[in-house]
Amino acid sequence: MVSRDVDHLTELLRTGRQILIFTGAGISTGSGIPDFRGPSGVWSRRQPVYYQDFMGSEAARIEHWDFKLEGWEAFRDARPTRVHEVVERLEKADKLLKVVTQNIDGLHQKAGTSRSLLVELHGTNTEVECQRCGVRFDPEPHFAAFRRTRRPPLCSCGGFLKPATISFGQNLRSDDIQAAEAAARGADLVVALGSTLSVHPAASIPLIAAHRGASYIVINRGPTEHDGDPSVTLRLEGDVEVLFPPAVDGALVSG
């Protein structure tokens, strides 16, 4: 990356007052979360369980809980990266409007981002949710029970408990979409970090902000679907964890 781009990035972050941060898997690669999509990833060995099957079949619920159990300890023990940390610093500096994430790892919250400023579009692995009454619980005892009994846990109301991620075939929560869209309408700067911007409808969120005139920064290693979009102000190619934290440091020092 040339130094002119570094300066531009720092300057945009320095002048931004209502920043919308949009994040994908590329910001969590250094956190200990396994790669689900790679050649040795879990999707090469397992078929995803669709929501309708989870609700309709005990065998599907067992399969889903077994899949989630396999990744649970890695998610539980994952640690935020420098990227999560500097996003939290933007909040402390009163420059952060919202964090909209595609990630289910809960690491923004672990890094200190306020719940009220966080939209987890695809849900979170850090809680389980009753599919009947909506109450959420700490997953740990439910994973422990499932490991022991192989029986998918139930809520006290009788509803099925499911890790609070959005399953295949399950709609995103309308509250989350509305909160993300409202942030996109209010932002003066939107920064997409570590996302290929190829999963919809999540990827439409930064474009809503960009198309109404907010500056739009895209940082990712590898191509994204917004490359070449005329609304992109600055496109940086490379590791987000290398590129983004120093720019935030620079912007907050000079801001």
Q: 């190829």: which residue's tokens?
A: 198
Q: Give first-to-last CA distance, the chain, whole Å.
A: 23
- Give the whole-angstrom CA distance, residue 75 versus residue 88: 20
> Which one of the listed residues 64, 84, 108, 122 is annotated catalytic?
122
Q: Is 1 in the site for Zn ion (CB under 5 A)?
A: no
Closer to Zn ion by CB, 136 or 147: give it.
136
Contacts with 16 (C-beta within 8 Å, 6 or more apart), sequence order: 95, 188, 189, 215
Q: Is 161 in the site for Zn ion (CB under 5 A)?
A: no
Which of 48, 159, 246, 250: binder of Zn ion (CB under 5 A)? 159
Q: Is 155 in the site for Zn ion (CB under 5 A)?
A: yes
3-state secondary structure 18-63: CEEEEECHHHCCCCCCCCCCCCCCHHHCCCCCCHHHHHHCHHHHHH
Report residue 48 as tokens. Answer: 């995803």
Shortest Å, Cβ 128 to Zn ion: 11
Q: Is 64 a catalytic residue?
A: no
Question: Contact letters (x/-) for Zn ion, 102-141, by CB under 5 A?
Answer: ----------------------------x-xx--------
Which of 150, 157, 185, 222: binder of Zn ion (CB under 5 A)? 157
Catalytic positions are 122
Binding site for Zn ion (CB under 5 A): 130, 132-133, 155, 157, 159
